Chains A and B, each alone.
Chain A
């Protein structure tokens, strides 16, 4: 367990005219993150993802609850937590008039690393993130993707056990985004735990080993993307037939792995199963055994948006 939190809470007071309103940004978050995984925090803007992350990174103090991060107690030894984690903020963290190399050396030295070692690590990081070519140019001349890579490099220059990335791909073009995914996977391959927030469904699905879905300051679901999707409605196998449906429905309706069977108006069958990948061969065998000709077979897996919809009653794409 590299991160374990219990009942982490934070509320902010905001003033609107004369009234002060208390906004409960995070209402009791329990999380477990395992070492070496890419853990995704998925949720719409304003769900409390950044607030949670900033609490874990010691930037804001929780109102309540506790957390252990890489073996250090968040509230009792924030200094120790800072040494063991890296954090990359959402809005950027590089100075226009500094070069990437300067930023990296300075940042390493702020962690207490000596000058020579800091320069060596900076050079290494510049190489690893394919930034060597622009290393001595001012940050303001970089593209969005290059600048984001500098920021990730800053976050891991002191070789932390875990790195928090707040929306690392927001605002990047599709190519830079794919590139960023590769970088994040590379960090995992090097043994680092990566805690990433995102409001992109595809990103959480493709990149993360495990995700927690957050909405209105609470975690509404947690698991691997596959588990989460399976849990809600199971998977759907759509079978296209040449012959009339009723006979096939009789055959397949009695199969133990089929939880529900529908005969849609457009023909064919919709079979709800727990695990489509293992169900398909069995469906093929059953139909073959009954000598029923099959025109097409198609597996429909629910998306994380279906998960979000089930848990919150809203679609993430709309919120």
Chain B
């Protein structure tokens, strides 16, 4: 009970501050919409599919996973600003749950990601994308897990390195191979065998496959439960580790 209340306190505050700065909403939606409008049409030919709607069916799930990964991985910057302002230390002298300090923040990231996701999905519907509501909700659950995990990792790393100068290159170095090896921009089915076998080791490639299967209406596809399980395990690990960093004594 106390824990749920603590999470709510942190989450509530973070959402409030987020809404106070509406520029974020614009920035958060502008970029994915550009992808949707300016990149997806290229895919109709590149993927050799019959219609734009077909291309969106492949591209939109990838785009959503991309947003979840990148959106999460760069949340640590905000935390470093909070560290510098002394807000984290101030929280740590209270009996508030350390896990709540993490989860309240990560849940804000999940909510903002899902908001972006809904806007993009709705836009794609106008371009002819069709998806079952049940499948879509499951896909959103997967996205929520990804975003929770990547933001927890980002917060954990931010607490360790404590400087933007170290966080930026670190996160970029992680994000780039993850992006290229996940079949986000183009499906991995186009990849040569060696590249595909490397991609098999990228957990996010599984998540992308699962999201695509859901958007294609293949709920029973093995990739769905595989993707969900892999993300769930990794999320638990990431959250546990990051919460420890919040509790750990730092100089």
Contact = CB atoms under 8 A, between A and B. Distances in A.
Contacts of B90: 89, 93, 107, 154
A117 B212 CA distance: 50
Given A82-B95, A87-B93, A60 B251 contact: yes
Interface string B81-92: 010011101111
A170 to B, nearest CB: 14
Contact of B251 (A12, A93, A98): A12
Contacts of A57: 93
Given A61-B249, A110-B9, A91 B86 contact: yes
Contacts of A83: 95
Interface stretch (B13-21, B126-134, B152-160): B13-21
Contacts of A91: 86
A82 B93 contact: yes
Interface string A146-158: 0000000010001
Q: What is the interface of chain A mostly: helix, strand, loop, or mixed?
A: loop
A89 B89 contact: yes
Classify chain A: how many residues form its interface, as a range: 20 to 34
Given A59-B249, A87-B93, A92 B9 contact: no
Contacts of B93: 57-59, 82, 85-87
A79 B97 CA distance: 10
A190 interface: no
B249 A107 contact: no
Q: What is the interface of chain B mostly: helix, strand, loop, or mixed?
A: helix
Given A97-B20, A109-B9, A92 B85 contact: yes
Nearest to B21: A97
Contacts of B96: 110
Contacts of A284: none
Most chain A CB inside 10 Å of its own CB: which residue of B9, B17, B86, B90: B90
Interface string B1-20: 01000100100010011001
Contacts of A95: 17, 82, 85, 87
Interface string B41-81: 00000000000000000000000000000000000000000
A288 interface: no
Contacts of A93: 85-87, 89-90
Contacts of B85: 92-96
B84 to A, nearest CB: 8
A99 to B, nearest CB: 10
A57 B89 CA distance: 11
Contacts of A102: 13, 16
Contacts of B16: 102
B83 to A, nearest CB: 10
A12 B93 CA distance: 21
A95 B91 CA distance: 12
Contact of A82 (B17, B94, B249, B251): B94
A166 to B, nearest CB: 11
B91 A110 contact: yes
Interface in B231-251: 249-251
Nearest to B249: A60
Contacts of B2: 112
Given A59-B92, A111-B94, A154-B90, A106 B249 contact: no
B87 A110 contact: no
A306 B48 CA distance: 87
Contacts of A58: 93
Given A93-B86, A112-B95, 4 more contacts: A58-B93, A95-B85, A102-B16, A110-B96
Interface of A: 12, 57-61, 79, 82-83, 85-87, 89, 91-98, 102, 106-107, 109-112, 154, 158
Query: 6 tightest CB-CB pairs across the interface, nearest first?
Result: A93-B86, A93-B90, A110-B94, A60-B249, A110-B96, A87-B93
6 contacts: A59-B92, A60-B249, A79-B95, A89-B89, A106-B13, A110-B6
